[in-house]
Structure formats: C-alpha cells, structure tokens
C-alpha cells in the first residue's frame, strides 16, 4: 500500500519522538511529593516534557488529517474490528498467524492494520495522559493525589508502548530481511 507523504512523515516523526521519550524516561526523575528531583533527572524530565508536547502535536495533526482524509487514505484499515467484514478478516488472519502460515497474511490486511491501530491508540493515550500531566503539574510540579494516579496510568501505558515499539521494530526488520522492502517504502520520505 502506498502512503501519502504526510502519513510517512508523521510515522517517522512519531517513531523518533516516542523512541526518544522512552529512552529518556529511563534516566529522568519525575515529580514526587516527598523528594526533590536531582539536577540531571530534572533536566531529563524537562526534555521528556518537551518531546512529549511535540509528540502530542504530531499525533494531533495526524488524527485531524486522518479524520479529514479517512477514505482517501484508507485509514479504516487501522481499526478493522469496527465492521463485520473487518472482524471476519481479523479472525481469519489471526488463525493463519497462529498456525505459522505467515505468507498467507496480506501485507495490508486486517491483522497488520489492527496492530498499527493499537500502536496508534497506545501512543495517543500516552500523549494525552502526558499532556494532561503537563498542565496538571503546573510550573511548580505539584503532585496531588489525582496527578499521582495519572502519573501511574501514564507509566503503566509506557509498558505497552515499550512492547509495541520493540515488536514493531523487530517485525519491520524481519520484513526487510525477508525481501519485502518495507523499510524502504515506509521511510521513503
């Protein structure tokens, strides 16, 4: 499937932003009501905030563009489970996957679309919770009980983002290795 230049750029920018976000989260401190952040950890936290706001902007632009161009860009394939034919295709392709008949799974089918759609939903949930945290913490990084709960949710979601990112990167490399030219097509910006 051929993607528009906007979709390819959005994918590339989102991949960079999320990878940076996850990497920097390993070194940063976060606001805590009982202990101050270290100087380095606080700096990394600020970088995490700024990159998170950039990721929020990128994904917001993607959602707006995709909703406006839903049919032209075939964005419905990201969420095939919303229609009966998509659900049937998803069940069939999942069965092929579980039986290790991977060559029978279409490259732009329901299973692939579902995986991309789930990644998009996870990333969107991450940037939304991060954006709300940015506003809720305020300039003094004040941690209240609801803010702490939201920070825990944001952290919980990051586990799924790590799994998705690693799996997505592995599958992209696997497809490239198998000669599908996936990476060249995706990143032909």
Q: What mean pLDDT is predicted for residues 26-30?
A: 91
Choice among 20-24, 68-72, 152-156 with the minimum mean pLDDT? 68-72
- pLDDT score, position 188: 65
Q: Read off the pLDDT of residues 108-120 as tens digits, 9 standing for 90 and up.
A: 788 888 888 899 9
Residue 74's pLDDT is what? 65
Instruction: Give residue for tokens 């696997």.
Output: 174
pLDDT of 1 over the 70 cut: no
pLDDT beyond 80 at 132 = yes
- The rounded distance, in Å, linking the Cα atoms of 19 and 168 is 12
**pLDDT digit string (tens) for 53-110?**
999 999 999 999 988 887 765 666 788 888 888 889 899 999 988 988 877 878 778 8
pLDDT band at residue 151 using 50, 70 and 90 as cut-offs: very high
67 burial (CB, 10 Å; 0-12 / 13-18 / 19+) is exposed
Q: What pLDDT score does 160 carry? A: 96
Helix residue ranges per DSSP H, 26-144: 39-68, 84-98, 110-137
pLDDT at 157: 96
The answer on pLDDT for 163 being more than 90 is yes
State what percent of residues in the chain have pLDDT above 90: 46
Per-residue pLDDT at 21 = 93
The residue among 11, 9, 24 whose CA lies nearest residue 158 is 24
What per-residue confidence (pLDDT) applies to 176? 80
| pLDDT recorded at residue 16 | 93
Residue 23 has pLDDT above 90, yes or no: yes
Count, residues in the chain: 189
Average pLDDT over residues 14-35: 90
């Amino acid at each position: 499937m051929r993607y528009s230049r906007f979709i390819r750029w959005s994918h590339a920018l989102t991949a960079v932003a999320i990878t940076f976000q996850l990497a920097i989260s390993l070194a940063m401190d976060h606001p805590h009501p009982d202990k101050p952040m270290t100087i380095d950890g606080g700096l990394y936290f600020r970088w995490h905030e700024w990159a998170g706001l950039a990721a929020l902007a990128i994904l917001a632009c993607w959602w707006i563009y995709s909703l406006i161009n839903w049919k032209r860009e075939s964005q419905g394939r990201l969420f095939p489970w919303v229609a009966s034919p998509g659900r049937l295709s998803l069940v069939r392709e999942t069965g092929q996957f579980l039986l290790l008949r991977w060559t029978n799974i279409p490259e732009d089918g329901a299973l692939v679309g579902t995986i991309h759609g789930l990644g998009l939903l996870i990333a969107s949930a991450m940037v939304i919770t991060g954006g709300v945290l940015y506003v809720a913490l305020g300039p003094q990084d004040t941690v209240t009980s609801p803010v702490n709960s939201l920070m825990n949710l944001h952290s919980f979601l990051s586990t799924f983002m790590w799994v998705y990112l690693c799996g997505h990167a592995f599958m992209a490399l696997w497809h490239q290795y198998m000669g599908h030219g996936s990476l060249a097509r995706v990143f032909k910006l």
